[in-house]
Structure 1
Amino acid sequence: MIELEGLTKRYGEKVAVDHLTFSVRPGVVTGFLGPNGAGKSTTMRLLLGLDRPTAGDIRIDGRHYDQLRDPLNYIGALLEAKSVHGGRSAYNHLLCLAQSNGIPERRVPEVLDMVGLTAVAKKRPKGFSLGMGQRLGIAQALLGDPRIVMFDEPVNGLDPEGIHWVRTLMQQLAAEGRTVFVSSHLMSEMSLTAEHLVVIGQGKLMADTSMAAFIHENSRTYVRLRTPEPERLRNVLHTAGIPAVAVSDGSLEVENVAAARLGELAAEHRIVLHELSPQQASLEEAFMQLTAGSVEYHAHTTAEGPEARRGGQGWGQGWQEGR
């Protein structure tokens, strides 16, 4: 388990992490989300002892990172895949880490095989593609067979097969009872992987809840109905005390009523339905709704076409004005 209590980090007048308190439990994949500049990477660095907190506490299975005798046996992390010695082979890179943490050498070929890098084990990582570098970073995180794993953007540079493999790996590790903490900006992938979410903005905790609860609490859910008799259906719903909103495409939208109840009402009155579909926002939409006020870096576009941009109100000027 990972436990943060009042964790704070300041760089001069800049507060990167602001009194964060939350726990990352074993047995589930916990997603760590936030806009750029929210403090996610700083929090992960603090967890691994790469930076020291200004205030607060952070513990790994009840201990500080610097109290762990062989830390790779407790927590494995991928923060920056390219942070490897370019002159060593992939095998020797992992071997050095294994020897420094009391891990037997036999574990090195095991994790290389696990991530699909056996064929390039003797090659130097400086020639690896981004995806291969990610795989080596994941091998490094798994080297000590730790009870806690932490990944920052683990699917960067991976092809669809690799992304599917990482997703399955994280879910498998959680199913084994391990603590899995993963940060990513790929909302579609996170929605398929994580069961629990921790969301921060400008260093502050904004949400610590299940995936389903997060989407429900930060988005509008409703049922869409289509029928060749929209006015009749609307009258039936009105009589039942159910408000329905007609939209421009001819459908009706109903909030706070189960789709099954609406279908039963339509059947009762022999109204044909062409569509009866519950609508729910995506994780991305819910995330954008919650964090809209805490985005630190805004990009701006202009409404004018190419001719206007060439006339001096172009992308460069629009970008400068938005900084």
Structure 2
Amino acid sequence: MIELEGLTKRYGEKVAVDRLTCTVRPGIVTGFLGPNGAGKSTTMRMILGLDHPTAGDVRIDGMHYDQLKDPLTYIGALLEAKGVHPGRSAYNHLLWLAQSNGVPDRRVREVLETVGLTAVARKKAKGFSMGMGQRLGIAAALLGDPQILMFDEPVNGLDPEGIHWIRTLMKSLAEQGRTVFVSSHLMSEMALTADHLVVIGQGRLLADTSMAQFIERNSRSYVRVRTPQREALLDALHRAGVTVVDGADGTLEVDGTPAEKIGELAARDGVVLHELSPQQASLEEAFMQLTAESVEYHAHPGTGAPLPSQQQWGESWRKG
């Protein structure tokens, strides 16, 4: 379990993390979300003792990171997959981590097999692709067989098979009763992986709730209806006190009434329905709704000078 209590980090006048309090619990995958610059990486670095809090406290199973004997056996983390000596092989990189943390040498082969790098175990890291480097970083996190795992952007560089693999791995680790804390900008992937969400903006806690509750609280749910008997359906719904608004492409959108009820009202009046589908916002839409006021960098399409065409660029280059 990871416990944050009033965690704060300032860099001069800049407040990167602002009195952040939450608990990352075992047995579930907890997603860590926030816009760029929200303080996610700084928070993860403070958990691992790489940055020291200006105020507040963070504990790993009740202890500070620097109090852990053989810390890789308590918490494994992937923060920067490129943090490997380029001249060292995958096997030797993991071996020195194992020997420095009291981890049996046999674990090196076990985790290399888990992440699919057995065939390149003796190759130097400088020849690894981004995806291979990511797998090596995950292997290092798993090395000490810890009860707490922390991953920052774990799917970077992975192909579709690799993304499916890491998603399945994280769920499996949580099912074993471990604490899994994962940060990612890929909302579609987080929606498939996380059970619980911790969302921050400008360093402050915005949400600490289940995935289902987060989407429900920060988005609009409605039922989309399509019918060739539009006026008849409107009459039936209005008589029942149901609120209806116009949707796209001639559809109707009904708030606050379940699809079953709408179908019953239509059937009672003999109205033919071509579509009756409950609609709920995606995690991405809910996230953008909640964090709209916390985004540090806004892009505005259609403003500024247009980019030069390839021909214009070439002519400009030739003119010196």
* TM-score > 0.5, shorter chain as reference: yes
- Distance (Å, rounded) in 1 between the aligned partners of 2:245 and 2:231: 11
* 2:62 corresponds to: 62
Cα shift at 1:305? 8.4
- Distance (Å, rounded) in 2 between the aligned partners of 1:34 and 1:252: 34
4+ long deviations beyond 4 Å: 303-306
2:287 maps to amino acid: F
2:137 maps to amino acid: G
- Distance (Å, rounded) in 2 between the aligned partners of 1:305 and 1:13: 34
RMSD of aligned residue pairs (Cα, Å) = 1.4
* 1:315 corresponds to: none
Q: Per the alignment, in what secondary structure is the counterpart of residue 286 of structure 2?
A: helix
Q: Does 1:140 align with 2:103?
A: no
Q: Does 1:255 align with 2:255?
A: yes
Q: Does 1:13 align with 2:9?
A: no
Alignment of 1:119-134 (within 5 A): 119-134=119-134
Alignment of 1:64-83 (within 5 A): 64-83=64-83
Cα shift at 1:303? 4.9
Q: Deviations over 1:238-293 (max 9, x none)?
A: 11111111235221110011111111211222211100001111111111111111
- Distance (Å, rounded) in 1 between the aligned partners of 2:257 and 2:75: 46
Alignment of 1:187-226 (within 5 A): 187-226=187-226
Alignment length (residue pairs)? 309
The unaligned stretches of length 5 or more in structure 2 are 309-320
Structure 1 residues 244 and 23: alpha-carbon distance in aligned structure 2, compared to 1, 3 A threshold:
same
- Distance (Å, rounded) in 2 between the aligned partners of 1:131 and 1:72: 23
* 2:312 corresponds to: none
Cα shift at 1:302? 2.4
TM-score (norm 1): 0.93
Q: Per the alignment, in what secondary structure is the counterpart of residue 155 of structure 1?
A: coil
Alignment of 1:20-169 (within 5 A): 20-169=20-169
Q: Per the alignment, in what secondary structure is the counterpart of residue 286 of structure 1?
A: helix
Q: Deviations over 1:124-176 (max 9, x none)?
A: 11111000000000000000110000000000000000000000000000011
Cα shift at 1:121? 0.3
Structure 1 residues 182 and 302: alpha-carbon distance in aligned structure 2, compared to 1, 3 A threshold:
same
2:41 maps to amino acid: S
Cα shift at 1:36? 0.5
1:175 maps to amino acid: E
- Distance (Å, rounded) in 1 between the aligned partners of 2:304 and 2:6: 47
Q: Per the alignment, in what secondary structure is the counterpart of residue 249 of structure 1?
A: helix
The unaligned stretches of length 5 or more in structure 1 are 311-323
Q: Per the alignment, in what secondary structure is the counterpart of residue 180 of structure 2?
A: strand
- Distance (Å, rounded) in 1 between the aligned partners of 2:203 and 2:246: 41
* 2:317 corresponds to: none
Q: Does 1:171 align with 2:171?
A: yes
- Distance (Å, rounded) in 2 between the aligned partners of 1:296 and 1:237: 44
2:219 maps to amino acid: S
Q: Deviations over 1:43-91 (max 9, x none)?
A: 0000000011000010111111111101100100000001011121110
Q: Does 1:243 align with 2:243?
A: yes
* 2:289 corresponds to: 289
- Distance (Å, rounded) in 2 between the aligned partners of 1:302 and 1:255: 34
Structure 1 residues 68 and 305: alpha-carbon distance in aligned structure 2, compared to 1, 3 A threshold:
closer
Query: What percentage of aligned pairs have identical amino acids?
Result: 76
- Distance (Å, rounded) in 1 between the aligned partners of 2:130 and 2:233: 55
- Distance (Å, rounded) in 2 between the aligned partners of 1:305 and 1:276: 45
Q: Per the alignment, in what secondary structure is the counterpart of residue 237 of structure 1?
A: helix
- Distance (Å, rounded) in 2 between the aligned partners of 1:37 and 1:248: 36
* 2:268 corresponds to: 268
Q: Per the alignment, in what secondary structure is the counterpart of residue 166 of structure 2?
A: helix
Cα shift at 1:297? 1.6
Q: Deviations over 1:302-321 (max 9, x none)?
A: 25885xx66xxxxxxxxxxx
Alignment of 1:292-311 (within 5 A): 292-303=292-303, 306=306
1:140 maps to amino acid: A
Q: Per the alignment, in what secondary structure is the counterpart of residue 271 of structure 1?
A: coil
Q: Deviations over 1:103-125 (max 9, x none)?
A: 00000000000000000000111
2:4 maps to amino acid: L
TM-score (norm 2): 0.94
